[in-house]
Amino acid sequence: MTKIWSIPGGIHPPENKAQSLQLPLGEVSLPEEMIFPLNQHIGAPAEAVVREGDQVLGGQLIAKAKGPVSANIHASTSGVVVAVEERTLPHPSGLSGPCVVIRPDGEDRMVEFSPCEDYTALSHEELLEKIRAAGITGMGGAGFPSAVKLNPRGNQKIDTLIINGTECEPYITADDILMQTRPADLVSGTQLLAHLLGNPARVVIGIEDNKPTAIAAVRKAAEGTNVEVASFPTKYPSGGEKQLIQILTGKEVPAGQIPATIGIVLQNVGTTVAAWEAVRYGKPLIERITTVVGEALETQRNVVVRLGTPIRHVLAEHGFIGKKASRLIVGGPMMGYALEQDDVPVVKTTNCLLAPSKKELPPPAPAQACIRCGMCAEACPASLLPQQMYWYARSEDYERLEAHNIKDCIECGACSYVCPSSIPLVQYYRAAKGTMRQMAIEKEKSDRSRKRFEYRQERIAKAEAEKEAKRLARQKAAEEAKKKLAGQKAEGKEAAASAPQADIVAAAVARAQATQKSPEEEKARLERSVLSAKGRVEKLHEKIATAEGEMKEKLAAQLKQAELKLSEAESKLAAFDGSSTATPAAPAADDPVAAAIARAQAKMTMAPDEKLRANLDSLRERLAKAEEKLAAAQAEGSDKVDALQAGADKLKEKIAASEKELAELGPVDPVVQAPAEQDAAAAAIERAKAKAAARSSMSDEDKLRDQLQSLEGRLQKAGDKLAQAKAEGADTVDALQTGFDKLQGKQQELREQLRAINPAAPELQDPAAAEEAPAEAPAAAPDAAALAIERAKAKAAAQASMSDEEKLRDQIDSAEKRLQKARERLAKAEVEDDPNIDAFRGAVEKSEAKLEKLQGELT
């Protein structure tokens, strides 16, 4: 006798199995239309391999398994495929899904099955393939593809095969009638499965003791085989997979695991027979035994029904009285579900169609409050705490539900059955389990989303960084190129200055050169122009000698022009010579001086100082211009004179202010910075500047010359006006005459002054010529003015950066020079017995006095 264990909990609902066992196994006629849902099993839906209009035979494959966990679907009779479309599914959700719809032709032709006499001759793979091809799925409840279940993983050694003939749920007798009618097939099927699983040590068919006929039949068939037939007391839900394993082996399947992990495989009797048929006769799963029961039916019995037959058709054949029925249930009263429509088909898992009357299965009583009686916990076959889970499910506390192992709930409904408050407990668990599954899916998706988002962010950041790096590289390259270019330029300039230094030096040199044109160059240029003018004059002379008539006149005119130009050039050269002789050291010193300045400036950054100086320069420039304008205005007697005068005054004030600032800044700045080095540098600058200033100390003379020129211009104009006035006999003649006289006086005075400074000045060489050709003066004036401005700027710049002492020294130097010159001139005058000897002597005396005074100041 087989040892039987017991399970915790469990209930004893009324069995109601007798009704359907009164009549023998029947058959259902062909319906007008058959529906084959593509998803009647656990796993991926099958893929339809027929199209609308296709002719199919019974047993022909109409939908192919897709993926490892899936099952083939076969037509259960011959006919035409009328549609592959969405139809309502036999599912508690009432959702629709893809179905193949076939209209039977009534001939019920079958494809030829390929039987197999000796399955032991086939390999394991071939056997599995036969079962898989037949589309066998678990026929007890969930519909898990059998081929997968019968092919456990390599590390799972199966030592027990259990065939489940328990059928514990009330009303259902489909397995009972199968065992009664085909026990031999069941035993053969059991042996087949045992063979497939490598002949496990124990092969047992478990049958509840409420089916004595079936037990006797199977025992008889199993005689002489290794198949054990065990019967055990009736109790719901003994037929649950885990419960039956526990009853027959005493082992518990660990939570969240499948039985194969403890070496057990369990199959339903219906599945076993179907597998046997598939291997032995090559017959796919196209029909099954279904219990049709309920007081709303005239006939209650078990029938062999072709899969795909609409439930409506089955019910109609059994005299279904719609008025009497409270509802229509697929499956048993404990775990089944109510159908909303009866046009859904019978599928592989449809083991019972229950059409109870209102009296038989009245609508549920309204749920009342939980009284914490604890009966549910006593009834639970999985040893859970249904009452606690109910509270947590109500408050949607999924963490606690998880902690209370809601996943181990088999949804048997024993708790609901015993609940005195009629609380639909199992419905709560089903809903909570569904929600938790949904949440897990969503969690997984949100984790994936987060990862994707983070990857994207990372990718964008990387792209940005790359862009930025590229941009920086480009910027750097551009800077380097710029530096290189600047370096080349600086080298070019420094090559001339014979002092290869950095940018700043080059820039400084450039500035120095801009403000002080090399006198040597200037002289060379002037000499060149004189030479070319001379050459032209000579040429013209030659031409005149050869030319005749009109040509001669033209040439004469040209000659005159050339001569004029020559004289101009010569005068310029002379003026330049004068200025350069006044500063004998200057020309030679120029380049080194500039270099010195540049070097010194490179050594110390005198930013504010520099700025001020630049400011001052521009101010001076403006002043010079303003004075020019003023002079012009005065000459013309314009009304703007006052305004211009005011402007010039303002400019002067500004210059004075700037100079003062500069003077304040000058000595402070260098000390603040690196003192030792900068003092030296400053000294170098001062020295250089002093030299530069010395060079431009001829400004007095130039100024005089300027004034003289402008005076001459004014004189000319005044003369013109006077002549005009005289000719017209105007009243203004007298006034004009006095003005003219005055101007002449002034001119004379200026000439005297100029002569005192520089007797060699060209203006004095030929004052008559200058007066006779006044047109020349304005032409020469701008150049002279520009030169003067240039020199004045240089001087101002030099002075600005000088300390008082330096300035004094500077002045002394220039005074000494002037004295020297004056003495020379005096000596010359004495030799030549010049009438101006007195004036010369006065100038010498004056210079001596000034020098003395300056020296006194210095000491």
817: exposed, middle or buried (Cβ count in 10 Å: 0-12, 13-18, 19+):
middle
Quote the least distance from Cβ 189 to another protein, whole Å: 30
Of 324 and 841, which CB lies nearer to another protein in the complex structure?
Answer: 324
Q: How far apart are CA 634 and CA 413, in angstroms?
A: 123
Closest among 353, 311, 318, 302 to 37, alpha carbons compared: 311
Q: Which is nearer to another protein, 441 or 588 (CB)?
A: 441
- Asked whether 189 and 272 are in contact (CB, 8 A), the reply is yes
Helix (H) / strand (E) containing 151: none
**For residues 799 and 807, is the Cβ–Cβ distance under 8 A?**
yes
* Interaction between residue 828 and another protein (CB under 8 A): no
431 binds another protein, rule: CB under 8 A: yes
91 binds another protein (CB under 8 A): yes
117, amino acid identity: E
C-alpha span between 76 and 111 (Å, rounded): 10
3-state secondary structure of 852: helix
Q: Which stretch binds another protein (CB under 8 A): 199-207, 311-319, 326-334, 824-832?
A: 326-334
Nearer CB in complex with another protein: 422/732:
422
| Near another protein by CB under 8 A: residue from 4, 25, 321, 367 | 367
Residue 49 identity (one-letter amino acid): V
Q: Does 840 bind another protein (CB under 8 A)?
A: no
Q: Which is nearer to another protein, 396 or 824 (CB)?
A: 396
Task: Return the structure tokens found at 299.
Answer: 């006939």
State yes or no: residue 29 binds another protein (CB under 8 A). Answer: no
Q: Binding of another protein at residue 293 (CB under 8 A)?
A: no
Taking residues 576 to 605 in sequence order and writing x for each that binds another protein by CB under 8 A, - otherwise, the string is ------------------------------
**304 burial level (CB within 10 Å; 0-12, 13-18, 19+):** middle
Query: Rule CB under 8 A: is residue 756 a binding residue for another protein?
Result: no
CB of 170 to another protein, least distance (A): 7
Q: Which two tokens stand for residue 473?
A: 């590289």
Residue 442 in contact with another protein, rule: CB under 8 A: yes
Burial of 203 (0-12, 13-18, 19+ CB in 10 A): buried
Question: What span, in angstroms and rounded, lies between the C-alpha atoms of 355 and 357?
Answer: 7
- Does residue 426 interact with another protein by CB under 8 A? yes
If binding is defined by CB under 8 A, does position 378 make contact with another protein?
no
Shortest reach from residue 449's CB to another protein, in Å = 4
Size of the site for another protein (CB under 8 A): 59
Distance CA 280, CA 121 (A): 12
Segment contacting another protein (CB under 8 A): 90-98, 135-143, 712-720, 742-750? Answer: 90-98
Binding segment toward another protein, per CB under 8 A, in 373-381, 432-440, 563-571, 595-603? 432-440
* Residue 189 to residue 191: CA distance in whole angstroms: 5
What the block records as the tokens of 134 is 């037949």
Give the E-state strand segments of 220-311 in sequence order.
Answer: 227-232, 264-268, 287-293, 301-306
Q: Which of 825, 823, 821, 824 has the alpha carbon at shortest distance from 836?
A: 825
CB 367 within 8 A of CB 427: no
Footprint of another protein on residues 4-23 (CB under 8 A)? 13-14, 16
Which residue, 414 or 797, is less far from another protein as judged by CB?
414
Check residue 336 for interaction with another protein (CB under 8 A): yes
- The least CB distance from residue 387 to another protein, in Å, is 15
Is 528 an interacting residue with respect to another protein (CB under 8 A)? no
Residue 368 in the binding site for another protein (CB under 8 A): no
Whichever of 53 and 364 has its CB closer to another protein, that residue is 364
What is the Cα–Cα distance from 410 to 479, expressed in whole angstroms? 77
| Rounded distance between C-alpha atoms, residue 412 and residue 381, angstroms | 8
From CA 693, how far away is CA 523, in angstroms rounded? Answer: 19
Applying CB under 8 A, among 3, 112, 114, 365 the residue interacting with another protein is 365
Contact between residue 268 and residue 99 where contact means Cβ atoms under 8 Å apart = no
Q: Which of 157, 372, 456, 462 binds another protein (CB under 8 A)?
A: 456
Binding residue (CB under 8 A) for another protein from 30, 81, 89, 819: 89
Are 212 and 237 within 8 A, CB to CB? no
Only segment of 332-340, 505-513, 582-590, 660-668 that touches another protein (CB under 8 A): 332-340
Nearest-approach distance from CB 431 to another protein, in angstroms:
4
428 lines the binding site for another protein (CB under 8 A)? yes
**Of residues 171 and 232, the one with the C-beta less far from another protein:** 171
DSSP annotation of 137: B
Question: In whole angstroms, how close is the CB of 24 to another protein at the nearest point?
Answer: 25
Query: Counting Cβ atoms within 10 Å, is residue 546 exposed (0-12), middle (13-18) or buried (19+)?
Result: exposed
Q: Does 433 bind another protein (CB under 8 A)?
A: yes
Query: Which residue ranges make up the site for another protein (CB under 8 A)?
Result: 13-14, 16, 39, 89, 91-93, 95, 97, 170, 329, 333-338, 360-365, 367, 393-394, 396, 413, 416-417, 419, 422-424, 426-428, 430-435, 437-438, 441-442, 445-450, 452-453, 455-457
